[in-house]
């Protein structure tokens, strides 16, 4: 296979499906109007938006009036977290999350601390899993919110959501349950009624939809303080304009993803298992970060390669037309060690030597073979330059 554009950083964003772009085009030209009453253009858009909302709601087993479009997963998280804590501040000012949660949740936790809330940060085990017992032990009489990331964005660990649900049900008082599902959406079945979450965020661009559009599920009867104010165009929780074309693209991406969710999961699981098998067969002293098998999301493989820097490998793969990530996608810009890997007990060397491959339905085995071949060559080249590697492997001098 020749070098080309091979994209394996689908954790951060995915390529819009051709069908999504086609669906959006009509709403960028003739159907750009906002919803309105009494006029044909506005009424036709209102009907379209209702169908888009229904499609996303169905994918979560939610009612359409529980589904709110937002300008992305980050805004959905903010609307939920700030909305619920501000509405419940008189009842209690204690919040629980974990140190391996997505930055959306952690930065909101830091904000809450600044305005007088207390936050308990749960620790993961060596696989990145946060135990339900820790949650149970952290609950207090003044706890008002537990928030979690269903699938870890760095190592793909799936958190025990049903066990969390059971702990919260037995708490003795109502604790709002918020889930960031942006990495989980389209990678495992999500049923908001079974999970019994109060709010849950998803994002279109993680499932081959457009960037700039997400959604927030809000369970019937849940009160959120308004944190954004303005004229209502599409939704009361996020006033102002939200792109009709973006919603159309989101709905089409949902249609494509959920038409055969189980088949899509099988494809990604098989491809990621094959990738890991080839990496371990071709590259000595490589270590998987996070759990094997069903304990991790079907699209995520994160490994540490001894004696090399992940940043160097990423750049060299890029020269071969291959896009991957190193460490945490949200920490690598500053070349910092991944806070998730450090919390799991990895050291700075293991973190800096980590590589994250996140696959999509558009990746193939041929691409995997090419990537592994190039990575093996690059690893051997970098190790040949490493004094530390040479000193610990004298037989290879």
Active site residues: 330
Query: For residue 116, with 0-12 CB atoms within 10 Å meaning exposed, 13-18 middle and 19 or more buried, which class applies?
Result: exposed
Distance CA 41, CA 23 (A): 18
Place of tokens 């009494």: 38
CA distances to 153, 178, 248, 267, 313 from 322, in Å: 20, 36, 31, 21, 10
Q: Please state the separation of Cα 153 from the chain's center in Å.
A: 5
CA distances to 65, 129, 177, 181, 192 from 161, in Å: 24, 11, 10, 11, 11
> Could you tell me which residues come within 8 angstroms of residue 3 by beta carbon, excluding any fewer than 6 positions away?
320, 321, 322, 370
Instruction: Note whether 289 and 346 are within 8 A (CB).
Output: yes
Q: For the beta carbon of residue 160, count every other beta carbon within 10 angstroms.
A: 17
Q: For the beta carbon of residue 194, count every other beta carbon within 10 angstroms.
A: 12
Instruction: Note whether 178 and 146 are within 8 A (CB).
Output: yes
């Amino acid at each position: 296979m020749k070098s080309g554009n091979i994209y394996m950083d689908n954790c951060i964003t995915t390529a819009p499906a051709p069908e999504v772009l086609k669906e959006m085009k009509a709403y960028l030209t003739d159907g750009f109007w906002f919803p309105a009453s009494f006029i044909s253009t506005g009424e036709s858009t209102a009907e379209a938006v209702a169908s888009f909302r229904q499609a996303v709601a169905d994918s979560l087993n939610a009612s359409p009036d529980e589904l709110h479009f937002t300008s992305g997963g980050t805004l959905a998280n903010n609307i939920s977290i700030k909305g619920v804590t501000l509405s419940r501040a008189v009842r209690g000012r204690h919040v629980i999350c974990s140190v391996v949660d997505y930055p959306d949740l952690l930065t909101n936790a830091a904000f809450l601390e600044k305005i007088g809330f207390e936050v308990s940060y749960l620790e993961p085990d060596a696989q990145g899993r946060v135990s339900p017992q820790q949650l149970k032990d952290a609950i207090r009489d003044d706890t008002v919110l537990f928030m979690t990331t269903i699938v870890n964005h760095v190592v793909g660990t799936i958190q025990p959501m049903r066990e969390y649900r059971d702990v919260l049900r037995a708490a003795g008082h109502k604790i709002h349950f918020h889930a960031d599902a942006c990495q989980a959406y389209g990678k495992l079945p999500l049923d908001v009624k079974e999970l019994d979450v109060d709010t849950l965020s998803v994002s279109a661009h993680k499932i081959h939809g457009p960037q700039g559009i997400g959604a927030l599920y809000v369970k019937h009867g849940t009160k959120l303080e308004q944190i954004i104010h303005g004229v209502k165009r599409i939704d009361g929780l996020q006033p102002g304009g939200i792109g009709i074309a973006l919603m159309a693209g989101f709905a089409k991406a949902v249609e494509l993803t959920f038409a055969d969710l189980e088949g899509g999961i099988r494809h990604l699981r098989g491809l990621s298992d094959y990738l890991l098998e080839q990496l371990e067969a071709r590259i000595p002293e490589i270590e998987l970060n996070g759990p094997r098998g069903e304990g991790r999301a079907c699209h995520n493989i994160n490994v540490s390669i001894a004696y090399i820097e992940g940043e160097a490998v990423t750049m060299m793969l890029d020269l071969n037309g291959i896009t991957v990530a190193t460490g945490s996608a949200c920490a690598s810009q500053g070349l910092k060690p991944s806070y998730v890997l450090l919390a799991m007990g990895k050291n700075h060397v293991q973190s800096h030597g980590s590589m994250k491959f996140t696959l999509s339905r558009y990746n193939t085995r041929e691409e995997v073979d090419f990537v592994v071949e190039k990575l093996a060559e690059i690893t051997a080249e970098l190790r040949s330059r490493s004094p530390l590697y040479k000193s610990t492997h004298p037989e290879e001098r």
